[in-house]
Structure 1
Amino acid sequence: MSRPQSQAEYLASLLPPSVAGTQFGRRALFRGALGVAAAGSLAACGGDSGDSAADTKSATGVVTFGSNQSDEVPKAAYAKVTDQFHTANPKLTVKTNTVDHNTFQEQINSYLQGSPDDVFTWFSGFRMRFFAAKGLAGDISDIWPDMKGFSDALKTASTGDDGKQYFVPFTNYPWAIFYRKSVFADKGYQVPKTLDDLVALSKQMQKDKLAPIAFGDKDGWPAMGTFDQLNMRINGFQFHMDLMAGKKPWNGPEVKKVFDTWAGLLPYHQDASLGRTWQEAAQSLQQKKAGMYVLGMFVGQQFPKGAEQDDLDFFTFPEIDSAIGSDAIEAPIDGFMMSKRPKNEAGAKAFLKYLATPEAEGVSVAADPTVIAVNSGADTGAYSALQKKAVEFVGSAKNISQFMDRDTRPDFASNVMIPAIQTFIKNPKDIDGLVNSIEKQKQSIFATDS
C-alpha cells in the first residue's frame, strides 16, 4: 500500500506552479466558496449525467448516515438536508446516527473497520486520503461525473492516492480570532496587526476585567488551532505543512520557538482550560466575559441568531515575522464519504449525489450561518455579513491549511499531539522535554510510512 500523500504535497498538487501563489490561483482553489461560476472549470469536474445515474434512479429503502454534527445548530441543519432529500426522493429514507463530535473523530478507525453507516461525515485532506489508502472508504468515482459546481481543485481535494474519488465536499469555514464588535466599540479596542499589538490589547483587557483570550481544551483538539496559527506565522506555511507530514523535526529550534511564543501568551488565556469545552469557552465570549477567541467560525453556534450573531466578527491571527506575514490561514473542508461496503450502495450514492448539489448546500448554510458553501452554484444571496466576510477571507488567503488533525496522520494527531499540547498547557516550562518526546514518538509512527 502506498503512503498517503502528505497535505503539503496535496496542496501543491491543487494548482499548476504558474498560478499556485497568485490571486488567480488562490481564488481558483476555493472558486466554489466565492461563487465564481466559470464554465470551463465546471465542465472539467461535472458534466451531463451519464450512465452512473441509472444506478441511483431506482434506489429504494433506508440509507444509514453516520454524523459527527452533534451540536444543536449543525445537527438541525443536517436534519433539514436529509428531510429535503427524502421529499425529493420519497422511496429513500435517511436514518441518521448522530455521535458526539469528539467521540466520532477519535473512534473513526474502529468505526470504519466495524459496521459503519452507508454514508458518514468526514474531512478532506490527509485524513480522507489516509482512510482511502487503507481501503476503509468506498470508491465514488462513478458518480463524480454527475456532480456539477466543483472546481478542479475541489475534485483533487476529494481524490485518493489511486486517482479515484472518495469524498464529496460540502462546506468550509475559516479559523481566526473572533470577537464581539460591541465590546471592541465600547472599550475602544483596535484590531491588532502584530503580536505586540495582541499582547498590548490583552493587557488592556485584563485591566478591564476581561479574560483576553477564551480557551477550552477539554476535548484535546481545539488548542491545535493555536499551534497551527503560531507555527504558520513564525515558520511559514511550507514549514508547517512539512512538519505535519513528518518531514521536519519537532525538536528543532523552529518548533521550540513556537512553544516558547505560546508560553508567553498563555497568561492571557482563560485559566483551567483543560476542564472547559470549546462550547463553554465560546459562551464566555458570547457573555462578554472574554474578549477574543482563537477558533473556527463555528464559534457562532453558541450565539443566538439575530443581533447576537450579527455582533460576531473576526480578524486574522496577527503577524509575528514581517518576512512571513499573515496571509496563510486555516479553512477546513467538511463533507461526506461512503463506507467500503454500504448495505444500500445505490441509495448511498443517490444521497451523496444530492449532497453534492447547490440546493443541499444552500439548505445547510441557511440553517447554519457559521459555514459557507463550496459549490459554485450555491445561492449566497442570503449570506450573513459574517459569511460574506468569510468568503472574502478564504478567497484572499495566499495559503490554506486544513487543521492539524486533518493535515497529519490521525494516529499522530490523536495519540501524540493531543496529550503533548495538554501537557504543555499544564507545564509550559519544560519545552525541551516536550519537543524531544514528540519527536521520538513521531519517528516511530511515521516510520511505518516508509
Structure 2
Amino acid sequence: MGAAAVLGGCATGGGGDSGGDGTLVLQSSLSDEAPRQALTEVVDDYDEHDVTLNTIAIETFRAQLPSYLSSGNPPDVLTWYAGAVARDYAQRGFLLDLSDLWSGDGACANFSDALRELSTDDAGQQIFVPTNYYWWGVFYRRSAFDEWGVQPAETWDDFLALCAEIQGQGADPLAMGTGGTPWVASGWFDYLNLRINGVDFHRELLAGEHSFDGPEVREVMERYRELLPYFDPNGRSQSWQDAVTPLVNKSAGMYLIGAFITQLVPEDELDDIDFFRVPVIDSAVPLAEEAPTDGYFASANSTDPEGAMSLLAHLASPEAQQKFIELSASSNLPTSPDVDTSSFSPLVQKGIELLNESAAITQFFNRDSSDELQTTADDALTRFLDRPDDVDTILADWQSAAARVFSS
C-alpha cells in the first residue's frame, strides 16, 4: 500500500520448504519482472552459500507469510516490510535476532538511527534489514509555481494561503485520487496526525492504544476539513494514477503522494517535478516523514542462521543495494549511506536528504497497522471526504470498526 501494485509472477518451489541440503532459501514477493530479475542478479553475486530463490505473487505471499514463518521447515530469508508488521512477527517468536548486523562492523551498523528504530522490536532487538525505501512529499511542477508566482510553504497557515492563491489562479490546488485507490486519503491523515500529535501517538493509535473517536483525532479531522475546499473535485472518481494527469497538465497544483509518482510523469517533464515536506503545524512536534521501507527478515527457525545472516549482509551491502535499484529501474532510495548516489537525479538526492534529516520514519497506515485496519480507514476517510459534516458519526463508526479489528 502506498506504492505501485506488484502483480503477477509465479511460484517456483513450495510454500516455504527449506533447501535442507546446505542451500539457503530466499522467499521473495518481488514478482514484477524488473525487480524479480534485479534480485536474481543480486543473489547470483553471492557466493558464500547456494541460494534457492522462490518468487511468489505478492498477494499469495501476503496471505501465506504467517504459514511460511510458522512452518517447521521455513525459508531462511524472506522479503517484506519494516515497521509494525515485522515487529508483530517478532513478538510471536518468528523472526531471527539480527542485532549483530547492526553493531560493530555489521552491514547495517552505519544505517540511520531512524532506520534502526524502524527495524527494532519491542524487546530492543533488531529483526529487520532495510535495503530500500521511498519518501512521501507534496509534489508540484516548478514551472507551474513560477507561472502562478507562488513558493512552497513551510507552515500550515502559509500552506492554506498557498492553496487559496493557486485556486485564485484558476487551478485546483490539490490532486488526490481516491476512486479505486481509497488508501490515498490515508496519506493526509497520517501526516496531519504526525504533525499535530507526533510519531509516538500515531504509532500508538494504529496499535489500538488510542481511540479514533478521541479529541486528538478530532483535531486531525478539523485540519483535514480545512483542505477540503482545495481538492480537485474529480479526485473522488480518479485512481492515484489518474490524479497525476492534472498535476502534469497544471490544472492541479500539488499532490501529496509517494515518490513512485515519477513512474507516471512523462520523461521530458521529470526535470520540472519537485516536492516539499508537509508543512509544520506545531513547531514543538519533531518532524517525522513517511518512508515505506522494504527489505528482509529471517526465520527464527532457519536451519542455518549463520548462513541467513551472511546472505542478509550481502543483500544490505552498498554494492547490492545500488545494483538492485539500478536494475529494477526504481525510484526508491538506498538505505546504506555508502551507496554512490552521484548519478541519481537531483529529485532523488533531495529525497535522500529529507529522510536523513527526519526525526523519525513511519511507513504508511496499513504498514504501521494492518491491511484490516486500512479497510476501516478507507471507509471512514472517503465518507468524510463526501460528508464532512457527519464527522462525529464517522469517527464513532471508525472506532467501532477498529475495535473489532483489534479484538479479532
TM bin, normalised by shorter chain, reads 0.7 to 0.9
**Distance in 1 separating the partners of 2:199 and 2:310:** 38
Query: Are 2:55 and 1:96 equivalent residues in the alignment?
Result: yes
Q: Which stretch has the larger CA shift, 201-210 or 285-294?
A: 201-210
1:267 is matched with 229
Q: What is the aligned counterpart of 2:192 among 215, 227, 230? A: 230
- State the alpha-carbon separation in 2 of the partners of residues 253 and 381 from structure 1: 46
Name the residue aligned to 1:203: 164
Q: Contact 2:28–2:55 (CA<8 Å) still a contact in 1? A: yes
Q: Between the two proteins, what is the percent identity of the paired residues?
A: 32
**Distance 1:413-1:272 versus aligned 2 partners, 3 A rule:** farther
Give the distance between the partners of 1:138 and 1:233, measured in 2 at CA: 32
Would the alpha carbon gap of residues 267 and 340 (structure 1) be closer, same or farther in structure 2, given more than 3 Å must change? farther
Contact 2:98 2:309 in 1 (8 A): no
- Which residue does 1:330 correspond to in 2? 290
Gaps of 5+ in 1: 1-54
Query: Aligned AA for 2:381?
Result: I
| Structure-2 residue corresponding to 1:215 | 176
Contact 1:124 1:333 (8 Å CA) reproduced: yes
For 1:159 and 1:353, the matched residues in 2 are separated by 17
- Deviation digits for residues 312-352 of structure 1 (CA, Å, limit 9, x no counterpart): 2111112334x446733323322123467789999876653
Q: CA deviation at 1:412?
A: 5.3
The change in CA–CA distance for 1:264 and 1:158 in structure 2 (over 3 A counts) is closer
Aligned-partner Cα distance in 2 for 1:343–1:311 = 51
Q: Is the 2:98–2:128 Cα contact (8 Å) retained in structure 1?
A: no
Structure 2 residues not aligned, in runs of 5+:
1-17
1:161-172 aligned at under 5 Å gives the runs 161=122, 165-172=126-133
1:291: Cα distance to partner? 1.4
* Alignment partner, residue 37 of structure 1: none
Who is 1:315 aligned against? 276
Structure 1: how far apart are the matches of 2:333 and 2:84?
A: 21
Q: Equivalent residue for 1:416? A: 376
Are residues 242 and 84 of structure 1, via their aligned partners in 2, closer, same or farther at CA, if it must alter by over 3 Å?
A: closer
**Residue-by-residue CA offset, 1:198-227 (whole Å, 9 max, x unaligned):** 233323333444332111122332221100
* Partner SS, residue 233 of structure 2: coil
Is the 2:187–2:364 contact (alpha carbons within 8 Å) kept by the matching residues of 1? yes
Q: Look up the SS of the partner of 2:261 in the other structure.
A: helix
- Residue type matched to 2:109 in 1? F
Cα distance 1:163–1:275, how it changes in 2: closer, same or farther (>3 A)? same
Q: Which residue of 1 aligns with 2:34?
A: 76
TM-score normalised according to structure 2 size = 0.78
Q: Distance in 1 between matches of 2:30 and 2:100?
A: 21
Q: Which residue is 2:30 aligned to?
A: 67
Matched AA of 2:384: F
5 Å-filtered alignment, 1:122-161, equals 122-135=80-93, 137-139=94-96, 141=98, 144=101, 147-151=106-110, 153=113, 154-161=115-122
Aligned to 1:240: 202
What TM-score does the superposition give when structure 1 sets the normalisation length?
A: 0.72
Pairwise CA distance, 1:162: 5.2
CA distance in 1, matches of 2:27, 2:305: 10
In structure 1, what residue type is equivalent to 2:388?
A: P
Give runs of aligned pairs for residues 343-422 of structure 1, distance below 5 A. 351-367=311-327, 368=329, 370-408=331-369, 410=370, 413-422=373-382
Is 1:129–1:160's contact at 8 Å kept on the other side of the alignment? yes
- Structure 2 vs 1, CA of residues 93 and 238 (structure 1 numbering), >3 Å: closer, same or farther? closer
Question: Contact between 2:22 and 2:50, CA under 8 Å: does it hold in 1?
Answer: yes
SS in 2 for 1:280: coil
Change (3 A) 1:258 1:223: same
Residues 325 and 158 from structure 1, CA distance in 2 versus in 1: closer, same or farther, beyond 3 angstroms?
Answer: closer
Question: Structure 2 counterpart of 1:284, which letter?
Answer: P
Distance 1:235 1:156 in 2: 19
Contact 1:158 1:168 in 2 (8 A): yes
Counterpart Cα distance in 1 of 2:245 and 2:310: 38
Counterpart Cα distance in 1 of 2:194 and 2:100: 37
One of 382, 386, 390 as aligned partner of 1:426: 386
Offset of residue 191 of structure 1: 1.1
Q: Which residue of 2 aligns with 1:111?
A: 64
Q: Shift of the alpha carbon at 1:429?
A: 1.6
Residue type of the partner of 1:96? T
Distance 2:287 2:117 in 1: 23
Deviation at 1:292, TM superposition (A): 0.7
Contact 2:82 2:128 in 1 (8 A): yes
